[in-house]
Amino acid sequence: MKAEELKKRKTPRLQNFDYNSVGAYFITICTQNRRCMLSQIVGTGVLDCPQVKLTRYGEIAEKYIKQLNDFYDNISVDSYVIMPNHIHIMLLIRENGQSRTPVPTKANSVFSRFLSTFKRFCNKEYGENIWQSRSNDHIIRDRRDYQEHLRYIYENPMRWKFDELYVEERTI
């Protein structure tokens, strides 16, 4: 991508919002080119409840999702699901979530550091970068919004074939 194209790209982040703010964030992290390499959805028959079967890549991602709770005293992963080509995470930032940098920016927010650390740790163990450079986020607005997104995480394996990120699974 050319430098001038990068300058024209719109930021996916909400303008004038402090991503160090206390609250809940629904995050979607996708693999490059939506490659199905993190898991497989198995047991999708009429009476079977679909299950997520993690690949080696998915097991590594899960390990770092769980470990990141220990690395940050001001954030926690409330819920997550590792789909074949993406991960949904409900991230909570608690009271002391303010950045230790003098002037908080989107780039050095707790939110951004969490994503950067997660991707860096995974990629180091993978030996390659498997993630899209950007992620999608949704700022949780109230209890109803929170419950809807938790339900979405829980039900995502059941709706995999109808998901907008669905591609025919060809795990590596």
124-161 tens-digit pLDDT: 999 999 999 888 888 899 999 999 999 999 999 988 87
Residues 128 and 172: beta-carbon distance below 8 Å: no
Q: Among 10, 18, 13, which residue's Cα sits nearest to residue 109?
A: 18
Residue pair 170/90 in contact (Cβ under 8 Å)? The answer is: no
Q: Is the pLDDT of residue 66 over 60?
A: yes
Q: Give me the half-sphere count of Cα atoms (radius 13 Å) on the Cβ side of residue 131.
A: 22
Most confidently modeled range among 1-10, 20-29, 41-50, 51-60: 51-60
Both tokens of 169, joined, read: 């699974």
Instruction: Tokens for 141, please give them.
Output: 């607005």
The side-by-side arrangement of strands in the sheet containing 86-93 is 75-82, 86-93, 23-31, 131-139
Mean pLDDT of 62-74: 87
Q: Which of 28-32, 76-80, 136-140 has the lowest mean pLDDT?
A: 136-140
Which CATH code is given to the segment(s) 22-158? 3.30.70.1290
Neighbours of 143 (CB within 10 A): 9
What is the DSSP secondary-structure string of 86-144? EEEEEEEE-TT---SSSS--STTSHHHHHHHHHHHHHHHHHTS--EEEEEEEEE--SHH
